[in-house]
Structure 1
Amino acid sequence: MVYRLRRQPFRAIILAFTFISVIFLRFPLWAIYYIPRRTRPRSSWTWQQCIEVNFIRVFTPLGTLAEWVGPALGHPDSRAIPRKSKVKSLWLEPTPQLITGSLKEAADKAGVQSARIPAYWYDRDGYNTAVDAPARSGEKVVLYIHGGAFIALSAHPNGWFDYWIKRFMTTHPAIQRTFAVEYRLTSGDENPFPAAIIDSLAAYSHLINDLGFKPEDIIFTGGSAGGNLVLALARYLVEAHRDPGTSNVVPGPPGALVITCPWADLGTSHNDSPSSHGNLVTDILVAEDTGLMLHARKIYAGPHGFPEDVNTNPYLSPASVHPSMGKVSFKGFPKTFISWSEAEIFADQDNTLRKKMTEDMGEDSVGYFTAKDAPHEFTTLASWKAQNDSAYRAMEEWLSRL
């Protein structure tokens, strides 16, 4: 277990009882309630989609059940590599020499150091590349940073994000494999910001320094909290590359960023935005200002202080509109594609992020896709096929123009 807000001495009993109650008592009530189309959160939704949103909201590692008894399903984490067939994995060694400037200041304040962590390879269908295979001529590679509010889920190929990664690799003909980093999850007072960024930096270094990929041939991708980490890592690389003292040590920024439904404001400046509470009924996420979502924001911030420092830290809240934030610069950022849904709770902050990035980078460097009537991270949910197809098609068209 990675987190637990309330200690329960009979966790197994409570979990079993809750599961039975939800499935055999509440589930039929949901089914009956959503039979008339007028009672559905969105009139375009099918009966099955209504059930799925409610089910995920309860059983997600960030949902109401997990708040009381911990995650319903266990996931691999950075402490070990599960031995399962056809899983390509390796250990990444610490890279303390790459931690400089503002990242080092944040790490020193939090007592965070570089650590040995796992990473996994995903192959595109039809390919079978060795774990240590060097970059091929013209090959593009994806560095994937998973979501989970910094406290849950995994990069492991048998996990939540397998569908998304494999489908994303079909959006560009030069992509043959994806490297997914199993960064350290935040738990209690362990591994707060910037531990996950430091781990993702080690994965990026491996692609460049060990396998010979050029930065311009690397695409960062991530969704939700993973989107936040993608932006944070890119910010560090841009800043470090501008500094003559570190530009020869820290690699330059990647060729492109593709982020889905990013959690772009960990502070409070969007807490009262229309989508934050108005879209709760149409999203798989629970409210971000209560329960596990609030818990995640606080422990990830750690000694950096929530909400004061989080509201004004561009690494944590690049979309913040807090009066004390000032101008957040995106000058020098890689070309970026952002997708989100207008029916999710992060819709307003994602639109703010797009506007901020476009202002500094120009419309030609910032592509985006907004889905209609879909929940958070809809590109990982096969049930939203129409929105999925449109989103992946938009990504494919945008990547083809790079």
Structure 2
Amino acid sequence: MRQNFSTGFQLYPAAIEDALTAYQWLINESGLNSLKIAIAGDSAGGNLVLETLLSLRNAEKALPSAAFVISPYVDLARTGKTIQTKADVDLMVTLDLLESINSMYLPSGNFQDPEVSPLYADLSKLPPLLIHVGTEEVLLDDSLRLARQAALAGVAVELKVWHGMIHCMHLFAPMLSEARDAISEAGAFLKHHLK
């Protein structure tokens, strides 16, 4: 982790470097074929999944077989309309929380840089992608725009928008049948691509 003396710790690019190190360990040390690997993440972790894929692709490394992201935070510039229009209904993510995440991840800089906001990146040649998002979350537009950008870039992308659900609803699987269904759906997607 890199120290930023004016604001504390800066997670960029250390988080991406750590993810790449872990992925390369699976291939080099564990002997796994990249096609036997899928990566997944939620919220800021969804950003990390996509930045990891982009870094691998740009370095011409073997890509995993598939990726799954839940409510990904892919536009740190926060230009999506639902950042404002869903602010009163999202029970988990607030504008203050997003501001805090941004200041920890990249205290200063261009939040539309494709290296921190994958929504602005060339998404071509990425592996099949599954995106889950709820209708009642501020990051809804991030997922909708990501799916569109990925499809336009020729990525095999599946988008599932869960009606009435909030950010990372999968966390509530013990209470919500929709969350259990979402986990089952994601499992089927990953199983299909990992075979």
Same fold (TM over 0.5): yes
Q: Which has the higher contact order (CA 8 A, sep 6+)?
A: 2
1:53-202 equivalences under 5 Å are: 112=2, 188-202=7-21
1:382 matched to 2:179? The reply is: no
RMSD over aligned Cα atoms: 2.2
1:356 matched to 2:149? The reply is: yes
Offset, 1:380: 1.0
- Normalising by the residue count of structure 2, what TM-score does the alignment of the two structures yield? 0.88
Q: Which residue does 2:116 correspond to in 1?
A: 316
Letter in structure 1 aligned against 2:24: S
Letter in structure 1 aligned against 2:58: E
Q: Is contact 2:93–2:137 with CA below 8 Å preserved after alignment?
A: no
Distance in 2, matches of 1:385 and 1:295, equals: 29
Match of 1:253 among 63, 66, 84: 63
Letter in structure 1 aligned against 2:67: L
Letter in structure 1 aligned against 2:136: A
Secondary structure at 1:220 match in 2: strand
Write the deviation string for residues 329-379 of structure 1: whole angstroms up to 9, x where unpaired. 1111111111010111100111000000011125xx111211111110100
Unpaired segments ≥5 residues, structure 2? none
Secondary structure at 2:68 match in 1: strand
Q: Is contact 2:38–2:65 with CA below 8 Å preserved after alignment?
A: yes
Write the deviation string for residues 214-263 of structure 1: whole angstroms up to 9, x where unpaired. 1111110100000000000100000000xxxxxxxxx4211111111100
Write the deviation string for residues 160-197 of structure 1: whole angstroms up to 9, x where unpaired. xxxxxxxxxxxxxxxxxxxxxxxxxxx93323311101
1:212-291 equivalences under 5 Å are: 212-241=31-60, 251-270=61-80, 273=81, 275-288=82-95, 291=96
Distance in 2, matches of 1:266 and 1:394, equals: 28
Distance in 1, matches of 2:76 and 2:43, equals: 11
Match of 2:29 among 199, 210, 225: 210
1:293 matched to 2:67? The reply is: no
Secondary structure at 2:117 match in 1: coil
Q: Is contact 2:10–2:106 with CA below 8 Å preserved after alignment?
A: no
Larger Rg: 1
Distance in 1, matches of 2:44 and 2:66, equals: 18
Secondary structure at 2:158 match in 1: strand
Distance in 1, matches of 2:174 and 2:141, equals: 24
Distance in 1, matches of 2:93 and 2:87, equals: 7
Distance in 1, matches of 2:148 and 2:51, equals: 17
Secondary structure at 1:369 match in 2: strand
Distance in 1, matches of 2:174 and 2:192, equals: 29
Q: Is contact 2:38–2:64 with CA below 8 Å preserved after alignment?
A: yes
1:370 matched to 2:171? The reply is: no
Unpaired segments ≥5 residues, structure 1? 1-77, 79-111, 114-186, 242-250, 321-327
